[in-house]
């Protein structure tokens, strides 16, 4: 017997039912931190979410989670003790050292791709066996398997430096509907707010006309594309109601300082607000981690900003109880070479690197796997990205052995079927 296939969330509730269930609560006002008390409590009880922090280019494991001071390749930085006895991290992460009891670090990642062009996509898709289809990114997979939360906000958003817009390519074979809604520099999409010259009644009439034209347009077009277009407009309606999410002038000045006034700090804070408002999956990007030259000065700056922003979001999620139902992941596409090159840099190194996790379903205070004394290779069993996808899905209550995709009737596994969750990582 084939295992049961996932039931798309959109088949379980009509849009009218969603709006009827949450519209009254949303109308009561936006949060003072951005949530109404009623929805805030419900989300804490019922909704599982994901914060995915992507350090694009390759965080050096030796200057972060797996330091090797005093060795041939260890570099100039010391290691410091953490809140977990016997566990040390690089001195560039003093704040995260105090958060270690909330974290689970896997130090034995051993993946395949040595290039950004292959690694970024493969890592975020989980690298299932090649079946001639393009798999969805992790955020798109969660959008498909879990759907939006009761907030009815977009299920997969991306807070990133640079340009924004809708990124349908993340959806892979699931279709453009499951792509990412990207907020460039953490700012709302252009023309999100209703112009002052357009009153509510006229706006409603205009949207009713748009809906009718969309239905006629959809009759002669492929369903995946027209569904994506309608979905973007529907979720945009909710974003219009929640435009306060982007109003940083309303943020607590103390929070702005705690997270850091740099890009990563401010965008991590916006990411936290997105979670509070009820977005299912929030990806926060940081660029510039490809340190082929002057690695140590670069890492001192980059890791310092990450340490500040990531520790702040962990503190806040823990303080509100939201960490209990939010899976938090911080990672890159690979690590950096132990050997230091002629430009005082570290190159690409998928053979031995680290990932940090916390929150929902994750064993707190754990360090799983190890590298050898010089940090050159994994000592013992190494884990590929497929193992991580099994781990993340199970942490969120999704069993890859029982849930699968359907690609136009073709059953496909949601994670690499020859891999499994990493022992010692799940609560």
pLDDT tens profile 331-340: 999 999 999 9
Give the start-end residues of each E strand in 310-365. Answer: 326-331, 335-336, 348-349, 353-359
pLDDT at 366: 98
In a domain, 419, yes or no: no
**H-run or E-run covering 18:** helix 15-27
Exposed/middle/buried for residue 159 (C-beta within 10 Å: 0-12, 13-18, 19+): buried
With tokens 């280019």, the residue in question is: 57
Report residue 46 CA to chain centroid gap: 19
The DSSP H or E segment spanning 407 is strand 404-407
CA–CA distances in Å: residue 327 to residues 48, 230, 313: 8, 29, 12
Q: Residue 348 belongs to what domain range?
A: 9-413
In a domain, 424, yes or no: no
For 380, other C-beta atoms within 10 Å of its C-beta total 9
State both tokens at 206.
């205009």
What does the chain come to in residues?
427
Return the number of other C-beta atoms located less than 10 Å from residue 302's C-beta: 25
In this prediction, residue 223 carries a pLDDT of 63
- Residue 271, in any domain of the structure: yes
**Cβ atoms 362, 426 nearer than 8 A:** yes
Does some domain include residue 423? Answer: no
| pLDDT tens figures, 403-420 | 999 998 999 999 999 999
At 346, list the tokens.
Answer: 């570290």
Does 418 fall in a domain? Answer: no
Given a cut of 50, is residue 61 above it in pLDDT? yes
Q: What is the DSSP string of 234-288?
A: HHHHHHHHTGGGG-GGGS-HHHHHHH-SSHHHHHHHHHHHHHHHT-SEEEEEE--
Site of tokens 């890859």: 400
Note whether residue 90 is domain-resident: yes
End-to-end CA distance of the chain: 30
* φ, ψ of residue 118 in degrees (nearest 5): -90, -40
Which position has the higher pLDDT, 45 or 240?
240
Is residue 49, in this structure, part of any structural domain at all? Answer: yes
pLDDT in tens, 258-283: 999 999 999 999 999 999 999 999 99
DSSP-assigned letter for residue 410: E
Do residues 115 and 327 make contact, with C-beta atoms less than 8 angstroms apart?
no
Flag whether pLDDT at 35 surpasses 50.
Answer: no
Task: Give the number of other Cβ atoms within 10 Å of residue 365's Cβ.
Answer: 17
Residue 200: pLDDT band with limits 50, 70, 90: confident
Sign of CA dihedral 105, 108, 110, 116: positive
Contact 103, 410 (CB under 8 A): no
What band does 36 get if pLDDT is binned at 50, 70 and 90? very low
Q: Which residues contact 86 (CB under 8 A, 6 or more apart)?
A: none
CATH code at position 218: 3.40.720
For residue 421, being part of any structural domain is answered with no
Judging by beta carbons within 10 Å of its beta carbon (0-12, 13-18, 19+), is residue 354 exposed, middle or buried? buried
Per-residue pLDDT of 354-404, as tens digits, reads: 999 999 999 999 999 999 999 999 999 999 999 999 999 999 999 999 999
Tally of domains in the chain: 1
Quote the percentage of the chain above a pLDDT of 90: 70
For residue 10, what are the contacts with CB-CB under 8 A and spacing of at least 6?
147
Average predicted confidence (pLDDT) for the chain: 86
Q: In angstroms, rounded to a whole number, what is the distance separating the alpha carbons of residues 298 and 330?
A: 19
């Amino acid at each position: 017997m084939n295992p049961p296939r996932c039931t798309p969330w959109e088949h379980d509730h009509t849009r009218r039912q969603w709006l009827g269930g949450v519209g009254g609560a949303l109308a009561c006002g936006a949060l003072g931190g951005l949530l109404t008390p009623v929805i805030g409590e419900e989300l804490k009880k019922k909704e599982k979410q994901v914060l995915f922090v992507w350090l694009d280019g390759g965080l050096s494991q030796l200057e972060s989670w797996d330091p090797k001071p005093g060795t041939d390749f260890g570099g100039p930085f010391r290691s410091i003790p953490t809140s977990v006895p016997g566990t040390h991290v690089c001195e560039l992460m003093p704040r995260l050292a105090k958060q270690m009891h909330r974290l689970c670090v896997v130090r034995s990642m051993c993946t395949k791709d040595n290039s950004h062009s292959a690694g970024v996509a493969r890592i975020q898709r989980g690298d299932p066996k090649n079946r001639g289809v393009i798999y969805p990114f992790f955020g798109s997979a969660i959008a498909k398997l879990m759907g939006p939360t009761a907030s009815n906000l977009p299920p997969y958003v991306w807070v990133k430096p640079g340009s924004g817009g809708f990124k349908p390519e993340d959806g892979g074979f699931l279709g453009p509907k499951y792509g990412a809604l990207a907020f460039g520099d953490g700012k709302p999409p252009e023309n999100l707010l209703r112009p002052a010259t357009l009153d509510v009644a006229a706006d409603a009439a205009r949207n009713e006309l748009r809906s009718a034209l969309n239905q006629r347009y959809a009759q002669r077009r492929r369903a995946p594309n027209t569904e994506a277009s309608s979905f973007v407009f529907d979720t945009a309606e909710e974003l219009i109601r929640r435009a306060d999410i982007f109003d940083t002038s309303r943020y607590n000045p103390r929070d702005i300082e705690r997270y850091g006034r740099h890009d990563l700090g401010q965008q991590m804070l916006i990411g936290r607000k997105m979670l509070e408002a009820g977005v299912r999956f929030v990806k926060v990007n940081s660029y510039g981690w490809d340190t082929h030259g002057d690695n140590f000065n670069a890492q001192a700056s980059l890791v310092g900003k990450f340490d500040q922003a990531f520790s702040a979001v962990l503190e806040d999620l823990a303080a509100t109880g939201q960490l209990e139902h939010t899976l938090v992941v911080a990672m890159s596409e690979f690590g950096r070479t132990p050997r230091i090159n002629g430009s005082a840099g570290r190159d690409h190194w998928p053979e031995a690197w680290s990932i940090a996790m916390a929150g929902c379903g994750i064993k707190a205070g754990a360090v799983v796997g190890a590298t050898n004394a010089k940090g050159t290779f994994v000592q013992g069993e190494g884990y590929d990205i497929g193992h991580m996808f099994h781990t993340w899905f199970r942490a969120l209550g999704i069993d890859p052995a029982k849930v699968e995709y359907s690609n136009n009737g073709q059953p496909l596994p949601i994670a690499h079927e020859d891999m499994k969750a990493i022992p010692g990582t799940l609560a």
